[in-house]
Amino acid sequence: MYNYPDSTGHFGQFGGIYMAETLIPAVEELAAQYLRYQNDPDFKAELAYELKHYVGRPSPIYHARRLSEHLGGAQIYLKREDLNHTGAHKINSAMGQALLARRMGKKRVIAETGAGMHGVATATVAARFGMECVVYMGAEDIQRQAPNVFRMKLLGATVVPVESGSKTLKDACNEAIRDWVTNVESTFYIFGTAAGPHPYPMMVRDFQCVIGNEARIQMPEMIGRQPDAVIACVGGGSNAIGLFHPYIEVPQVQIIGVEAGGFGIETGKHAAPLTANAKVGVLHGNKVYLMQDENGQITETHSISAGLDYPGVGPEHCLLKDIGRAQYVTSNDDEAIAAFDALCRFEGIIPALESSHALAHAIKIAPGMSTDKVLLVNLSGRGDKDMNTVAKLKGITL
Amino acid sequence: MSRIQAAFEKLKQQQRRALIPFFTAGDPSPALTVPLMHALVASGADVIELGVPFSDPMADGPTIQRASERALKKGVSLRSILEMVSEFRRQDNATPVVLMGYGNPIEAMGWEAFASRCQAVGVDGVLTVDFPPEESFEAFEHLQRHGIDPIFLLAPTTKEARIEQVAKLARGYVYYVSLKGVTGAGNLDLSAIEQKIPELRQHIKLPIGVGFGIRDAATAKAVAKLCDGVVVGSRIVQQIEDSTEQNVIANVSALVKELRLAIDQA
């Protein structure tokens, strides 16, 4: 039976708690508190209430009929995480972590963000519960995701631009860790993805599993069976693990994670550690496949989507790759943009550029499959935040 | 007897505290690293902590972050730093050298290759900020096989059970992080250190060095009264940043002499 992580927070050789000593007691305390509350009836009831009445769950599954007909092969279904409050799957985990923070008596929350969706989700739950909120965001991401920066500020959060390193998600993560080490007693770090030191990869996964748990009920209701494959984009990999995990022990369902191919794996300018066979390394509290040079320095990544622009990936995806239960592939920038356009025109849905990577892979494989096959794509977020990026690519000034 | 042990034994006989300066290898330039190491010793350093730069120094404040970026831009790597230690040892076979940094550059080289290279060039101790004891068992088997001391951090937040655990694994000395924060922060609390050290001493029989946030001679002197060694990092790195390649050795020497004088008055 598949049962990870082990009691020390390892997924096979991956995961762990690679943190500075000052933070070790904090992550141990978090693990203990999460263990205490994860099956607590009151905690579960409160989370279920918030997910239903505040987030708007369950999110529907939608049959993208016109797009499927156009492709002439497998039927594409979309898990509509874009319809959640705040417009992405990030709120599922931000809500769970905020409720835990409240039980732990923490009045201040911090977060890192790439595309800004996790920052917005964190700022939202902080406003909802009256907590102080500081969000770290790379200076380059602040440029390309300006609407989300404004949303966070409207919600009362302080957005701190991070100027170090590549000025993207990994640097925002470094800076959030520095804040946490300084304010460890007052502060809860609401981590955005299913990575980082134990218990984060497990805890964020558990909160995101609502996606796959719903899909396992919804698909039989819609088509009388489970899909042939589930497909999701993978940066750190939280939306993907949330969809994948409930399907791990459903062997007839193929699991496909789509990494950001950037300009193409062969150019080296990508954010696809799994597909590019990156070496195992240690960053941000866990051991994972990690893009790095021969001296162990983390290399700069490239993706058109800020949310996938990260050199590592969550430890459970590393394990799923190694044991062969999931397959990892890439979509390049231009393929993601084409998928973005297709969904806008055929279905009237503007997807996030992150989710467009997953959709691009479905568009790639659907025509080669028979029309009775079903692909379930996680539409992890909506694309309103990407208007500036897409307009710029098309040479349009807004 | 290891170089670290010998150095602390000698200090104990002299009733003095260790001065342990830190700077990032390769900053301001790779050619100046070995001359700077010799200058530190000449100015009164007892142990040298040589920083191995990492692209993502999560536990460091802005000063050491900038030093890491400068060093990496100059092409410094773990391999070239081991060469620097080898060069240092041609003239100095007594002063202990501890490499301090993050785990990933070592992971990339492989712990066995790294530990064996450390032994060959004369590195005495290794401190990896992001490898707590829980994740270090395998790595430190390699270090111990080659006689390299694993140096561990303890923090104000460390609870007694963990102090015991670290006491079992640590060799050389133990590095007490004197504040909750990154390197170079300015919120050091002397009374908290004074309270914590006796708790550490109940379990830790090794010398205890204290660092993070020691920014001037007066603080160094006050901290020296409470422990066996004073680690000064960001202040020295700041001095390097504020100097030119022409006057950096003179400026750093002057600072370290001042710290030495203050510590010896403790």
Handedness of CA A346, A352, A353, A358 (dihedral sign): negative
Identify the pLDDT of residue A266: 96
If one counts every other C-beta atom within 10 angstroms of the C-beta of residue A334, the result is 14
Of B58, B79, B108, the CB nearest to A279: B108
Type of residue at B97:
V
In chain B, the domains with their CATH numbers are 3-264 (3.20.20.70)
Determine the length of chain A: 398
Reported confidence tier of residue A269, pLDDT bands at 50, 70, 90: very high
Calculate how close chain B gets to A218, using CA atoms only, in Å: 41
CB–CB contact A174 B56 (8 Å): yes
For A246, residues 6+ apart whose C-beta sits below 8 A from its C-beta are A209, A212, A213, A215, A216
Type of residue at B236:
I
Q: Kindly state the helix (H) or strand (E) to which residue B50 belongs, with its residue range.
A: strand B48-51
Rounded CA-CA distance B250/B234 in Å is: 18
* pLDDT tens digits, one per residue of B207-233: 999 999 899 999 999 999 999 999 999
User: Considering chain B, what is the average pLDDT of its residues?
Assistant: 96
Rounded CA-CA distance B163/B174 in Å is: 10
Reported confidence tier of residue B189, pLDDT bands at 50, 70, 90: confident
CB–CB contact A182 B152 (8 Å): no
Reported confidence tier of residue B10, pLDDT bands at 50, 70, 90: very high
Indicate the pTM of the whole model.
0.97
- Verify whether residue B216 is a known catalytic residue: no
What is the arithmetic mean of pLDDT over B141-149?
97
Type of residue at A221:
E
CB–CB contact B155 A21 (8 Å): yes
Identify the pLDDT of residue B178: 87
Stretch 157-186 of chain B: residues touching chain A, C-beta under 8 Å: 157-159, 162, 177, 180-182, 185
Identify the pLDDT of residue B188: 83
* pLDDT tens digits, one per residue of A9-67: 999 999 999 999 999 999 999 999 999 999 999 999 999 999 999 999 999 999 999 99
Reported confidence tier of residue B48, pLDDT bands at 50, 70, 90: very high
Contact A352, A305 (CB under 8 A): yes
pLDDT exceeds 80 at position B186: no
If one counts every other C-beta atom within 10 angstroms of the C-beta of residue A335, the result is 20
